[in-house]
Amino acid sequence: MTIRSFLRHETILLLLLVIALIVLAQQSDRFFTTDNLLNQARLMAEVGLLALPMTFVIVTGGIDLSVGSIFGLAAILLGVFWHGLGLPLPLAMALAVLVGGIAGLGNGLIITRFNVPPLIATLATLALYRGLAEGISQARSVRGYPEWFFVLGQGEVLGLPTQLWFLLAIAIAAAIVLGLTTFGRTTYAIGANEVAARFSGLNVARTKLLIYTGSGLVAGLAAVIFVSRVSTTRSDMGTGLELDVITAVVLGGTSIFGGRGTIIGTLLGLILMQALKSGLALGGVKGDGTIVVIGVVLIAAILLGNLLSRNGDG
Amino acid sequence: MSFDVMQSRPSFPRRLLGFVEANGQEAIILAAIILLFVVVGVVNPRFLGNSNLTSIFSGNAYIAVAAIGMALVIISGNIDVSVGSLIGVLATIAGTLAVNGYPIIVCWLAPLAVGVAINAFVGFLVAYVRIPSIVVTLGMLSVLKGGLISATAGAWINNLPPEFMLAQFRPFGVPAPIYFMVTLTLLAALWMRYSGFGRTIYAIGGNPDAARVTGIRIERSIVCVFMIHGFFAGIAAVLFATQLQVIQSTVPPNLELTVITAAVVGGVSILGGTGTVIGSTLAAILFAAIGSALIFTNVSAYWLRAVQGLFILATVLADMARRRRLR
């Protein structure tokens, strides 16, 4: 029953995606070129990376509003570690990812140890982590990274953009963990009924702690990739990123109330959103017009989800 | 519990907690404001100068006004992360009407009406369609913000007529925004405490199921709460639009976080059900004072948001700890 309804949501997404791609191809003959498609893949890698752990977070019934700020903090600290403290760049990159993990761990601890609702905890850390990024950087940017560093964000490996490999690897790992492991089942169980999960002897706190830490780690990694892609660090990087990430996940069929969602769905949601963005760009809509559409899509996706699930129940 | 433990003098943290519980968060924040003014005033006497006090109280009154509405929304168990964008849009509407020669009263009232209408829609989605308020307002944030920038390209609105500048009026030598802040806070506080609807909001936030059983029409009440919030956002937008000679038709950065911070730190429990608007107004003043104090003590203002984040976090953790002790 549930399998069937999953399939149904993902089939609808796939259909929408095909329609979107056909429309895009009609609009511009430059769309269906390998170059453009790979470029689109490059552009969506950061949001895609963040959307994977966010799927876990939302499946548990939580939310992580702080990913954009963790992203900004890790990006700034990458610059500070390398340029300010003079550490070797590889070490700085590792530390930046680690900082993301620590920031995520902080979220997890606040949520699990103090029972603060995830929405509030991560809203507070959204301000805190962004504030730290602004305070540490004093609005100065860091540039002048060495040439090899750009391989990560601008280069190619085996014909595909480097970051796409990261996205694919982590997506496959996430799909296996969520779909096939005890950890994944625990994640669903928490989202479906947290109290029942706890009384069934599942380690709810540890699972959530790992998920939020993972979310931070991946945000750190995405930040390093992003810095490599745009060749500079600034403290406002990743502002509003949580909107894109949450939209991709919700569009992918993950229930905002928890308990339901798949990695495949998230990936489809992500691609659909990127197709939408590039379609708007081709149609001459600027960045600010795009976020209007993303906002509408977010609300509409949940609206539809609510209607569908109500039909399913009744 | 043994007898001599009862007899012994409670430890300082325990007495402090007792003080908080007896006098509420409001007293603490008031004490913090006074302490801040004394300390920073000693370090740099110009902090207490007339012009700086005016800029702290009058220049940030719109945040306090918006925080009143936010407090109601949070007390009812919801949240609104779009209020900054809403204020930006409403301020631009007011300014655009004003430079196009509409009657001043229309320029002042239109933002209120639009604010109420937009938030009625938000409240409808939250209450009747049952989309969590965080998602609705996150979507709304981007719709309003993106829509505003696409429509105006961030152009500045100049040449505002002088009679439009509500926030620059100074009846009896006191800037108008201060009257608004004080009057609205007191009215809202009394209304929340003594009116039936005020108690309804607390009831919904405290325990929606119990509220429903007692016959409260929750859906309608939540829509009303959001509409009232939109009304306050409209007033805040008019104060914001009229305090400078130009309106930069973009969204004031981080405004929603500042407003939420004021409401939460002012003692509005983020789980809903408790809190007062006096606390939120005091917290708004405290933050304005902190922002100003950072400048007057030569600490970079770039740390302001980190301080805000720490304050929210500390307040929320204290709230959770208090609830745990009460349980």
Q: Would you say residue A305 has pLDDT above 70? A: yes
For the segment B177-205, the average pLDDT, to the nearest whole number, is 86
Cβ contacts of B302 on chain A, cutoff 8 Å = 134-135, 137-139, 235
ipTM of this complex: 0.81
Which of B143, B300, B305 lies at the smallest CB-CB distance from A130?
B305
For an interface test with B, which of A63, A107, A128 has the most B Cβ atoms less than 10 Å from its Cβ? Answer: A128
Lowest mean pLDDT among A76-85, B83-92, B273-282: B273-282
For the segment A276-294, the average pLDDT, to the nearest whole number, is 79
Residue A310 lies in a domain: no
Give the whole-number percent of chain B exceeding pLDDT 70: 91
Chain Cα centroid distance, residue B14: 30
Q: Would you say residue A314 has pLDDT above 80? A: no
Measured distance CA(A128)–CA(B310) in Å, rounded: 6
Look at residues B314, B313, B295 and name the one whose alpha carbon lies nearest to residue B304.
Answer: B295
Measured distance CA(B205)–CA(B185) in Å, rounded: 20
Alpha helices by DSSP H, chain A: 2-27, 34-59, 67-79, 89-113, 118-137, 151-154, 162-180, 182-192, 194-199, 204-230, 241-251, 263-282, 287-313
For the segment B274-292, the average pLDDT, to the nearest whole number, is 85
Measured distance CA(A252)–CA(A244) in Å, rounded: 12
For an interface test with B, which of A291, A293, A296 has the most B Cβ atoms less than 10 Å from its Cβ? Answer: A291
Q: How far is A151 from chain B (nearest CA, A)?
A: 32
Q: What confidence score (pLDDT) does residue A311 get?
A: 47
Measured distance CA(A84)–CA(B242) in Å, rounded: 43
DSSP result, B230-246: HHHHHHHHHHHHHSSS-
Q: Which residue has the higher pLDDT, A3 or A44?
A: A44
Are A131 and B79 inside 8 Å of each other by CB? no
Are A128 and B313 inside 8 Å of each other by CB? yes
For the segment B135-161, the average pLDDT, to the nearest whole number, is 84
Cβ contacts of A141 on chain B, cutoff 8 Å = none
Q: Would you say residue B21 has pLDDT above 70? A: no
Q: What confidence score (pLDDT) does residue A30 get?
A: 74
Residue of B nearest to A120 (CA): B270
Residue A3 lies in a domain: no
Q: Would you say residue B9 has pLDDT above 80? A: no
Burial of B103 (0-12, 13-18, 19+ CB in 10 A): exposed
Give the whole-number percent of chain B exceeding pLDDT 90: 18
Residue A308 lies in a domain: no
Residue A244 lies in a domain: no
CB B251 within 8 A of CB B257: no
Q: Largest Cα–Cα distance in chain A?
A: 63
Structure tokens at A157: 């490996």
Instruction: Report the DSSP beta bridge partners of residue A161.
Output: A156
Q: Would you say residue A2 has pLDDT above 60? A: no
Measured distance CA(B154)–CA(B142) in Å, rounded: 15
At A14-64, the pLDDT tens digits run: 888 888 888 878 877 777 777 888 888 888 999 999 999 999 999 999 999
Measured distance CA(A246)–CA(A98) in Å, rounded: 23
Q: What confidence score (pLDDT) does residue B171 get?
A: 83
For the segment B18-38, the average pLDDT, to the nearest whole number, is 75
Q: What confidence score (pLDDT) does residue A3 get?
A: 57
Q: Which domains does chain B have, with CATH numbers?
A: 52-326 (1.10.3470)
Measured distance CA(B278)–CA(B68) in Å, rounded: 8
Are A132 and B134 inside 8 Å of each other by CB? no
Are A291 and B146 inside 8 Å of each other by CB? yes
Q: Which residues contact A82 (CB under 8 A, 6 or more apart)?
A: A88, A89, A92, A142, A145
Q: Which residue has the higher pLDDT, A314 or B14?
A: B14
B233: confidence class by pLDDT, cuts 50, 70, 90:
very high
Give the whole-number percent of chain A exceeding pLDDT 70: 95
Q: Would you say residue B154 has pLDDT above 80? A: no
CB B286 within 8 A of CB B36: yes
DSSP state of A233: B
For the segment B4-29, the average pLDDT, to the nearest whole number, is 62
Which of A125, A139, A286 lies at the smallest CB-CB distance from B302?
A139
B22: confidence class by pLDDT, cuts 50, 70, 90:
low
Q: What confidence score (pLDDT) does residue B5 get?
A: 45
Residue of A nearest to B302 (CA): A135
Q: What confidence score (pLDDT) does residue B10 get?
A: 62
3-state secondary structure of B163: helix
DSSP result, B283-304: HHHHHHHHHHHHHHTT--GGGH
Quote the mean pLDDT of chain B. Answer: 83
For the segment B174-180, the average pLDDT, to the nearest whole number, is 86
Cβ contacts of A251 on chain B, cutoff 8 Å = none
Cβ contacts of A257 on chain B, cutoff 8 Å = 132
A8: confidence class by pLDDT, cuts 50, 70, 90:
low
Which of A114, A294, A306 lies at the smallest CB-CB distance from B131?
A306
At B99-133, the pLDDT tens digits run: 888 888 888 999 999 999 999 999 999 988 888 88
Q: Would you say residue B20 has pLDDT above 70? A: no
Q: Would you say residue B7 has pLDDT above 60? A: no
B86: confidence class by pLDDT, cuts 50, 70, 90:
very high
Q: Which residue has the higher pLDDT, A69 or B15?
A: A69
Cα angle for residues A117, A120, A123 (degrees, 5° grid): 145
**Total domains present in chain A:** 1
Cα angle for residues A56, A58, A59 (degrees, 5° grid): 60
| Most confident by average pLDDT, A196-200, A305-309, B9-13, B129-133 | A196-200
Measured distance CA(A84)–CA(B203) in Å, rounded: 53
DSSP state of A83: I
Are A134 and B303 inside 8 Å of each other by CB? yes
Q: What confidence score (pLDDT) does residue B204 get?
A: 84
Domain limits at A184?
43-239+255-261
Structure tokens at A246: 């949450």
Q: How far is B289 from chain A (nearest CA, A)?
A: 17
Q: How far is CA B99 from CA A87, A283, B50, B165, B168, in A?
A: 55, 32, 31, 12, 17
Cα angle for residues A274, A275, A277 (degrees, 5° grid): 60
Cβ contacts of B254 on chain A, cutoff 8 Å = 127
Are B141 and A243 inside 8 Å of each other by CB? yes
Are B139 and A250 inside 8 Å of each other by CB? no
Measured distance CA(B122)–CA(B126) in Å, rounded: 6
Q: How far is B173 from chain A (nearest CA, A)?
A: 37
Q: What confidence score (pLDDT) does residue B327 get?
A: 62
